[in-house]
Amino acid sequence: MQQLTDEKIRELVDEWIKDALDAEYEALLRSGPWNEEKLGTYKGTLQLVGSEIYDAWLRKDFRQVKGRVDALLAHKGVEADRDSMVYRKLCDALLKAEADVLREVSDYTWEGPSSFPPTTNEIPDAQPQPIQQDEVKTGPTLHEAVEKYIEDKNPGWSPKSRIDMPPKLRQFVKIVGYDLPFTQLDRDAMRKYRDMMENLPARYEQKKIYRDKSFEEILAMDIPDEEKLAAKSLENRFIIIRSFLNWCEDEGYIEKVRGLNKVLKVSKATQGRSTGKRAPFTEDDLRNLFAPEAYAEETRKSPARFWMPLLALYTGARIEELAQLHLSDIKSIDGVLVIDINALDGKQLKTAAAVRRVPIHPFLGKLGFLDYVATMNKRGEQRLFPDLSLVEKTGKYSAAISQWFTRYRREQGVQDQDEEGRSRTFHSFRHTFITRSKHLGLNRNMLKEIVGHEQGETDDVTAIYEGSYPPRMLRDEFIKKIDFHERVEELNLL
């Protein structure tokens, strides 16, 4: 085994950049033809992920990249102690390279695939170049900067982001100061925003008890922690604001934003705060939910109703990930049938880690899933479940399924909460899949890759971050071992 050195780091990262650009170029060729809307969605995904990675690089947070570093070292036959400084240097260099490549790819993608492939010499330095003091203009107010940012970014945002992002950015303005000159934005202002966000109730604007009160009046109330934003939701808010501030630096509104961005970290006191927990379904729950006569009657007119609970149970996928699938997302890779969960063609994903390819369980084939896919293809459909409609207000396809499943679950005697007070929803299928895989002692890294876990060491996106496990290995060593149909007879009677 070779030893990792500074020179070897440069060699590994340069080679990785070349391979990453080649992979993205090939992905663009495979995914054509392109139009403005499709390119805009793709660019928005790249920019969002690039912002998250760039932020991790600024904070020297190597948790998300260690898995990719380990895979790279193993592939190249290089040895390094995880606790060594040279290992941390490689983590730092690879994170920076990932952010650079995503920035470069998003620019070239928007100009058109013919601009590819750029050379590694064209990749910009991810470290922001300081602006000389005499170049910094008096600049706009915070409100003006936010509105210009929204106007600038809106074409590249997904439909869902166009709904979600502006209110969060305008809330930042409302808390910090509508007419505050941007050049006066300081760490104290950022602390004010952070502290308020950690203590305000979630969705306070929608709740009558808070609706007509000032921030000060709301904060003076006794608000239980469970009504406040969870740590993960806070971090997502902070990522949005950090991305805005980075853009402001690029625009020359402020010399450096690193000091401001460093303030936007979830406090230790808040880190343990989580959203309401969901319960996995028990085997008795599954027997009730998949009782053959009831299930057949409820699903006979809707393929989405029939297949989505089964797909969720055998893949761990989220409800919207399944509802928005296209027929082209059901494909064969190296002879293995997979569901390609991606953000192309206007599809929306929860996190960067959600981009993945999940092998299809053979039991789903026995139930007729592949026959259904073939039928939809013969009909000339584009989407896997054409009976689901997009809800413009939310930008989602899953609303009708969510409402139906809640009603059906209750009718089948599966209560809203378990004995521990955890809620039961469609999302419980995901928890059921994860829980069963743990009980079976299946590989935890494979689990993270299959379910697209938000945290961990497989935060993959686009062709640059294709999973470290071949589809055949994921199918044979993980998916095939999921055995609900062997434990719940009702599934075999559908």
Cα dihedral 341→347→353→359 (10° resolution)? -10
Interatomic CA distance for residues 20 and 312, integer angstroms: 31
CB 334 within 8 A of CB 474: no
289: left (phi over 0), alpha (psi -120 to 50) or beta: alpha
Residue type, 166: P
Give the angle subtended at the CA of 31 by the CAs of 315 and 369, to the nearest 5°. 30
Please state the domain extents for the chain.
2-120, 138-271, 283-492
Task: Give me the tens of pLDDT residue by residue for the chain, a chain 494 residues long.
Answer: 788 898 899 999 988 888 888 777 776 776 667 666 566 666 666 666 666 777 778 778 888 788 788 878 888 888 888 889 999 999 999 988 888 887 777 665 444 443 444 444 444 443 434 434 444 445 788 999 999 999 998 888 877 788 888 889 998 998 888 888 888 889 898 899 998 888 888 877 777 787 777 777 888 887 777 778 888 888 888 999 999 999 998 988 888 888 888 888 887 777 766 655 788 999 999 999 999 999 999 999 999 999 999 999 999 999 999 999 999 999 999 999 999 998 888 788 877 678 889 999 999 999 999 999 999 999 999 999 999 998 877 778 998 999 999 999 999 999 988 877 788 999 999 999 999 999 999 998 899 899 987 543 333 444 444 446 899 999 999 999 999 999 999 888 87
- DSSP, residue by residue, 426-439: TTHHHHHHHHHHHH
Q: Which H helix or E strand runs over 50?
A: helix 36-58
Give the angle subtended at the CA of 492 by the CAs of 281 and 369, to the nearest 5°. 90
Q: What is the pLDDT of residue 35?
A: 66
Q: Which H helix or E strand runs over 422?
A: none
CB 49 within 8 A of CB 95: no
Q: pTM above 0.85?
A: no
Interatomic CA distance for residues 35 and 46, integer angstroms: 17
Q: What is the pLDDT of residue 127?
A: 40
Task: Say if residue 343 is exposed, middle or buried (CB neighbours under 10 Å; 0-12, 13-18, 19+).
Answer: buried
Q: What is the pLDDT of residue 439?
A: 94
Interatomic CA distance for residues 336 and 359, integer angstroms: 7
Q: What is the pLDDT of residue 36?
A: 62
Q: What is the pLDDT of residue 209?
A: 81
CB 82 within 8 A of CB 457: no
Of 190, 205, 14, nearest to 96 by C-alpha is 14
Q: What is the pLDDT of residue 134?
A: 43
The yes or no reply on domain 283-492 and CATH 1.10.443.10 is: yes
Of 331, 326, 359, 330, nearest to 343 by C-alpha is 326
Collect contacts of 333-340 with beta carbons under 8 A, ≥24 apart: 333/357, 333/471, 334/470, 334/471, 334/472, 335/472, 336/471, 336/472, 336/475, 337/365, 337/370, 338/471, 339/311, 339/315
Q: What is the pLDDT of residue 45?
A: 64
Q: How far is CA 350 from CA 5, 47, 160, 271, in A?
A: 37, 14, 11, 20
Interatomic CA distance for residues 138 and 218, integer angstroms: 34
Interatomic CA distance for residues 275 and 260, integer angstroms: 27
Q: Strand order in 336-341's β-sheet? A: 330-333, 336-341, 356-359
Of 344, 346, 383, 350, nearest to 462 by C-alpha is 344
Q: What is the pLDDT of residue 284?
A: 94
Interatomic CA distance for residues 112 and 483, integer angstroms: 46
Alpha-helix residue ranges (DSSP H) falling in 326-465 = 362-367, 369-378, 399-411, 428-439, 444-451
